[in-house]
Structure 1
């Protein structure tokens, strides 16, 4: 099921400075908002999330980041993601709701062209199975939603 690393996250004290730094290393800016930016490491395969913190010396994270600041996403194929809830259940792992969307199916971000299933390891580290959406996937709306709502033709 797991093919590689899709994303990892870092807290940063100055988002614009950090974007410029990582772009100078060859990463490409993919998505940016006021307090977060995602840069492609390998386009449509893996990226780095940079999260601006109001006070870098505290452990405060933006509301959409994991509360403990520890998060990693494993890259999977789209077909595997569609089966991920069952795959995790077979291993005794519960799927976690995320971003205020409390469903037990993959979640998609049409505007970012990716989809995810969230869960935790035994130490409370926030984990995710994530994939790029296939060609032809919807590109709207610009929010997190259940796969069955965002792409009902699949269900």
Structure 2
């Protein structure tokens, strides 16, 4: 199921300064929000996430305990069954209550989350091609919602 490393994360004190630094290194800027920025290491395959925060004030910074493994779209659709078969429980991401894999159209990827025995956050993630019209969708969509949207768009 796991094909390689999809992303790694680093905590940063000043996102603006770090963005400029990683641009100077020649990494291609992918996207950002208020406190995170992502750069492609290998376009469409792996990226680096920068998380602004004060790791000294917060005992747990998510970027220090998170790894994402790249998988295929079809494998991600079967990921809950696979995790169950190896006796690993999926966990909700962020404020979500569902453990179901989901699509992030605005980022062009899909994920499911789980933890290792030490509570480290692990993720199975894949690239999802997104038509330009759908890149403005910031809601997280289920595979069912996404595929229905894509099928309706192709008619």
TM-score under structure 2 normalisation?
Answer: 0.86
| 1:147 and 2:146 are equivalent in the alignment | no
Which sections of structure 2, spanning at least 5 residues, go unmatched?
151-155
Q: Work out which of the two has the higher radius of gyration on C-alpha atoms and give 1 or 2.
A: 2
CA gap 1:126/1:36 in 2 versus in 1, 3 angstroms: same
Distance 1:47 1:36 in 2: 13
Divergent runs of 4+, >2 A? 55-61, 134-140, 143-154
Determine which of 71, 77, 85 is the counterpart of 1:76: 71
Q: How many positions carry a matched residue from both structures?
A: 150
Between Structure 1 and Structure 2, the one with more helix by share is 2
- Post-superposition Cα deviations, 1:108-133, rounded to whole Å, max 9, x if no partner, equal 10011100010000011000000001
Contact 1:29 1:39 in 2 (8 A): yes
Do the aligned partners of 1:11 and 1:52 also contact (CA within 8 Å) in 2? yes
Q: Secondary structure at the match of 1:102?
A: coil
Q: What secondary structure does 2:91 align onto?
A: coil
Distance in 2 of aligned mates of 1:27 and 1:78: 25
TM-score (norm 1): 0.86
For the Cα contact (< 8 Å) 2:5–2:68, is it kept in 1? yes
Matches within 5 A, 1:60-139: 66=62, 69-134=64-129, 138-139=134-135
What runs of 5+ residues in structure 1 fail to find an aligned partner?
A: none
Task: For residue 135 of structure 1, report the CA deviation from its aligned partner.
Answer: 5.7
Cα deviation, residue 60, structure 1: 5.5
